[in-house]
Chains A and B, each alone.
Chain A
Amino acid sequence: MKKTRYLLILLGLFQAVNLFAQTRFVKDTLESNGDSVVVTATRTERKLNNLTVPVTIINAKTIQQNGSLRLTDILKEQTGLNLTSGFGAGIQLQGLNPDYTIILINGEPLVGRTAGVLDLNRIALGNIKKIEIVKGPSSSLYGSEAMAGVINIITDASMGAPLTIGLRYGTYNTVDANLETKLQTKNFQYQGFINSYNTDGYSIRPNSNSRVRTPIERYSTTQQIKWDLSSQTNFVLNTRFTNEQIQNEIAVSNNGVTIYSIGKEAIQDLNVSATLNHRFSKTLKTSLRTYTTTYDAVQNLLTINGLPYRDVLNHNFKRIENQTDWDLSKNIQAVFGVGAVLEGVKSSRYDSEKLRKQNDIQYAFTQWEWKPTEQFTLIGGVRFDQNTQFASAYSPKLSMLYKLNSKHQFRFSVGQGFKAPDFRQLFLDFTNAAAGSYSVFGSAQAQQVIARLDALGQIGNLFPNYNLLKALKPEYSNGMHFTWDWKINPRSAVSLQLFRNDIKNLIESQQVGTYISGAQIYSYLNIGRAFTTGFELEGQHKFNANWSLSGGYQYLRTGDKDQIADIKSGTVYTKNSQGYSRLMKLNEYVGLPNTSRHKLQLKINYNSPKGYYLNVRAIYRSKWAVNNNNGNEVFDNGDVFASGYVAINSAAGKSFKNGISFQAGIDNLSNYIDAANLPNLPGRTFYTSIKYQLQKK
């Protein structure tokens, strides 16, 4: 398979006899995204300019010219987004953890989160048309997890080049190969995409005397079929499959004692969606969607001593949904939706890996858009989710747009988002034999399990909060976003966004008792209250037809409201350098861990009429708290921080008229490494790639 792919590329090269470049039309004004069609914000097709909520669009050209391979590569270069590590690479949006952002592919959610994190390295960017990022609670349309926002990856459904081949080679023997085919008859369209990603992995960890290799082999394929049954009706079938093998050969040496372990992880991820669209009239259309997805992960770890460790997670999610769009009048448009979800998880961390834990959800939503004048749009929506395993949730949202004139636009949105308790919080049954035999029990069965242990005489103490254990409520967030877009002139634009999210019912693990041995017993309770607030400033300027500069800055403040109340009431202490305790002051409090106060990115871009391009991107992230080491439960100035850093990435390339393009790039130019806090950032890496698009005759 691989060989044939390389051959095809060679053939493509031979075809490239006419390597002359032709002059293209290049504008010296900003390429406005304003007319781009966005689907995520309202679940209907709307121009970016007419949206009432803040949306970022990343288009295919940006992804390609930045040399981004995986979803993480491009997201970390966006304003307000930070990469997190631990359980794969997740994304933090406006200070909220990866758990609170829903990730969609063509509108359908991805599953398979470990400890709330969806590993975004799983998603190849080969055949992506664009990525839409909606900031702010969007549960009114998407239900659970859409608390901080929505990231929707939209695959390329256009009928362009019938065949595209790409090959990329980089540091650590990283090979990424793509093959994309498109076929079309009168009422039938097909797109197929295959991606293979192989890497030897890298080692940036200290204390390992041999190189830690984490080779990864990843294959993913997407197939899309669109069949026009009539001029009013079409059928779309989308499939996506990813197969991933990760190997860890770890050798850790301490004072002459070396511990070897071999880990093998196998992950399979399958998504299938089938949609039937029908248009009754110019003002009424409906679509019936079915979606099923399975995520299957097996991790085996063999060490020279101790028992082999096996971790199994199988998550499936089935959904059926109907959405009807009805334009009631010239300036009132309504959307109605109703759906049902069957979701189940099997895991070795629950009482039995053979037993499937199940949750059923039924939901309905509606959204009304009112546009009394060209200048003003108001959208209101609400969604109701009813669940079998936890309390129901209402998610309202109200948003508006006001276009003052051709230069100034204002958007304001307020809404409530929620995140359902996950299966781990409900059903975990985990005892850590290695570290003091503590146990964590999911809230849905904690009382039963503990009562059973108590009957066996194993329970020492039960704390008062044991009696509070019950079905968890969803976590709620109230978000407010205000955006001001200002087009200063045809070459410059800025936008300012103020945001605030207030979160309550945060689910946190808390000790509820002890074993007779003194070992702790934990479960999950709705206890936390937190906030994230700040502003984002984005701007772009075009110097001339070739050169442009764009950038974004986020200022972020976060905090745990209960901790702040404790600090104010004088019950939080800290230690001075001698180890003496003293009262902590509010101005020493730094907020939630893993959040940085400042994030800045700048991009210089060059595009020539002859098809040459060059970009240099710098990303700065200020320090963030990672560990609590001065003896209180809150994060303050005396704690352990990861240092702020700058990463500089650059790519350059040329595309020829005959469909061939070349690219070369460097990531992390300054070779910044922080093994403990940034395991996803290898040192300086290089890559080069070639791509051939068969041109339509």
Chain B
Amino acid sequence: MKMNLRKITMGLGLSIALVACTKDEETIVVPVSAITVSNLAADTVTGLGVDGRPQSAGSTTYYSLVDNKVIASTDAASTKWDIAFSSTKILVNCGTSGPGIGGAFVFKGLFDDLKTIPVDSSFATDNSNAASYAIPLGSGRAWYTYDGLTTLVSPIAGRVLVIRTATGKFAKIEILNYYKGGVTLPATASVSDKLFKQRYYTFRYAYQPNGAKTF
């Protein structure tokens, strides 16, 4: 019941940060709690090109951390979304990516250990012209590693993406998996599975609606 209530409140995006428990239990202050988003498709593969590379539509999936839902790409130029996914690329609503006042940086450590965003941390913004993104592209840099031998993408352990939302609130994200069903494929999986089951994000996040840098 507690969990459900929490989810509902979060899902509605209400700024209720305190959840009271039944009277015989001690009252626990839970500022924000984590939500898990599963199987979020992000420019999934449609086939294999003659060059041996995966083909796709080149689409981007926009997501609102505030409302915990997918935002239509027609609203790409709005502040309705906070974070967007396109294969391994993750955008935040700022700079060349959107009109928001977003930003991000990569925190090394555990999701649960990041209780307060350090004062000296600085949020970067997206600049596609310089191929520079708040969440840097490429294997081994921000959130994943790509293994050329197995052609598998694995999220790096102990990496938290700290996000400033389109409207200047704060959230933290841990990418849990990149494959459909939330399970990384074995190295021996078929080429077809490796192609068509990738680009499905499973991640957990915590959003602090009150604007504070604490979770």
Contacts and interface: CB of A to CB of B under 8 A. Distances in A.
Interface in A333-357: none
Interface string A580-617: 11111000000000000000000000000000000000
A632 B154 CA distance: 9
A255 B154 contact: no
Contact of A579 (B108, B176, B190): B176
Interface in B144-186: 144-145, 147-150, 152, 154-159, 174-177, 182, 184, 186
A34 interface: no
Contacts of B136: 518
A511 B141 CA distance: 11
Contact of B138 (A518, A572, A581, A627): A518
A628 interface: yes
A18 interface: no
B202 interface: yes
A629 interface: yes
Given A573-B157, A574-B157, A632-B157, A627 B131 contact: no
B157 A628 contact: no
Contacts of A626: 187
B145 A581 contact: no
B132 interface: yes
A631 B152 CA distance: 11
B151 to A, nearest CB: 11
21 contacts: A254-B192, A255-B195, A305-B52, A460-B132, A511-B140, A516-B131, A518-B131, A519-B138, A573-B110, A575-B155, A578-B182, A579-B155, A579-B175, A579-B177, A581-B110, A627-B149, A628-B145, A628-B147, A630-B157, A632-B157, A640-B187
In the A-B complex, list the 3 residue pairs whose CB atoms are closest, starting with the nearest: A579-B176, A573-B158, A573-B157
Interface in A397-436: 435-436
Interface residues of B, number: 44
A538 B130 CA distance: 62
Interface in A53-78: none
Interface of B: 47-48, 50-52, 108, 110-111, 130-132, 136-140, 144-145, 147-150, 152, 154-159, 174-177, 182, 184, 186-188, 190-192, 195, 202, 204
B138 A436 contact: yes
Contact of B202 (A259, A579, A629, A676): A579
Contact of A259 (B52, B111, B195): B52
Contacts of B147: 627-629
A631 B145 contact: yes
Nearest to A577: B183
Contacts of A676: 187-188
A631 B140 CA distance: 9
Contacts of B184: 629
B154 A629 contact: yes
Given A626-B187, A627-B187, 13 more contacts: A206-B188, A255-B48, A257-B50, A435-B148, A436-B139, A518-B132, A518-B136, A520-B138, A579-B176, A579-B182, A581-B159, A628-B154, A631-B144
Contacts of A435: 148
Contacts of B155: 575, 579, 631
A255 B47 CA distance: 8
Nearest to A642: B187
A464 interface: no
Nearest to A304: B50
Nearest to A579: B176
Contacts of B139: 436
A207 interface: yes
Contact of B176 (A516, A580, A582): A580
Nearest to A259: B52
Interface string A207-242: 100000000000000000000000000000000000
A457 interface: no
Contacts of A255: 47-48, 191-192, 195
Nearest to B185: A629
B51 A306 contact: yes
Contacts of B190: 207
Given A255-B195, A575-B157, A581 B131 contact: no
A517 interface: yes
Given A255-B191, A629-B184, A631-B155, A516 B148 contact: no
Q: Give the interface centre of A519, A579, A627, A640 by most chain B CB atoms within 10 Å.
A: A579
B180 to A, nearest CB: 13
B195 A580 contact: no
Contacts of A460: 132
A517 B110 contact: no
A571 B152 CA distance: 24
Contacts of B154: 628-631
B132 A581 contact: no
A371 to B, nearest CB: 53
A254 B138 contact: no
B110 A305 contact: no
A520 B148 CA distance: 15
A625 B212 CA distance: 44
Contacts of B148: 435
Given A520-B138, A640-B187, A581 B111 contact: yes
